[in-house]
Amino acid sequence: MRFRKTVSVVAVVATLLVLPYLFMSFTNPVDQLLCRAFPSVKFPNNSDASKSVPEQRISSAETTINNLTAVLNSTLSKSHPDKALSNVLNKSTVPESASSSFDGLEAMLSSVATADKTVIVTTLNQAWAAKDAMIDTFLESFHKGENTQFLLNHLVIVALDHRSLERCRELHHHCFMLRTEGVDFTSRKRYMTEDFLKMMWRRMSLLRTILEMGYNFVFTDADILWFRNPFDHFANNTDFQISSDKYRGNPYSFYNRPNCGYQYTRSNNRTIAMYRHWCQGGEENPSIDEQSVLKVMLKRNEIATYNVKIRFLETERFSGFCEVLSINSFLFILIKQC
């Protein structure tokens, strides 16, 4: 009887140790499982953001990222034999000529910016502008978050169509209409479709223009909730800070996987040059999204060309509710639930 109990305990411990590794190979299903199983996850009140955390090793399930450059180069070679991604990204670019689509933007930024010329920016189309939809939840988070309500004074909602502009004006004081000739951004755009990619690169053009006008920005997708004031946790000596789809414990490691849906960028010659370089990748390769181009830039260490100081935001404070947990965290939750 005692032997059976010992075997059972060993089996349970072995299972707990193996499960996290299996989960890391199936990221999306696990993310959904953890969301449903632990929906009440909250940000911790206190943490030592400066503590040294060992960088996690790269799992075999992420070889796609490591081979991204080769995949993109192969794709580009088929459609543009004379243009490989490495050539595109190594080109220096000049700023686009001023477009009428940005008329009034600088006046809007000036009216909402903080004393150090920082603005918060999000984009909105009709798909997320319906009553009691995403935009309502997004704005409500500012009202209910800790020390966040005043940040609405510095938020610009960039509408991508007329209906979302009308809806924005019902909810918020600072709305800007970004016109794009020949493109209808009204309906929901499925991931990686042609219109989705156009919308993403149009957004990049907007952000680059904001930097060129001399303004720092926090860009946030409208499906992100603001529970606390993020400015208390941004680094002061960093040019470009971005959220992570996969965070490995080291905020300065280029092995972190970036998520362009939340970023804090300071306007200076370095970041302006980087954004022009980044946008050039989209102009030359419209079938590739901006996040994939950034991953390639990071992997090839092209950020160093512009001396941009980059930091990945710790998922301890800047995160989705669904993230593959470390072994220790996973075991702790399982034990606690038992």
| DSSP state letters, 20-84 | HHHHHTSHHHHHHHHHHH-TT----S---TTS--PPPPPPGGGHHHHTHHHHHHHHHHHH-TT--
Local mean pLDDT, 10-residue blocks, the chain (338 residues): 56 53 39 29 32 40 43 44 40 46 93 98 89 92 96 96 93 91 56 69 93 98 95 94 93 94 97 95 83 91 91 88 49 40
Go through the domains of the chain in sequence order and give each one's CATH number: 105-335 (3.90.550.10)
- Residue 202 contacts residue 180 (beta carbons within 8 Å): yes
Model pTM above 0.95: no
Please give the pLDDT value at position 194. 66
Rounded Cα distance, 250 and 209, in Å: 30
Which H helix or E strand runs over 261? strand 257-265
By the 10 Å C-beta count (0-12 exposed, 13-18 middle, 19+ buried), 72 is classed as buried
Please give the pLDDT value at position 135. 94
Please give the pLDDT value at position 333. 36
Please give the pLDDT value at position 32. 29
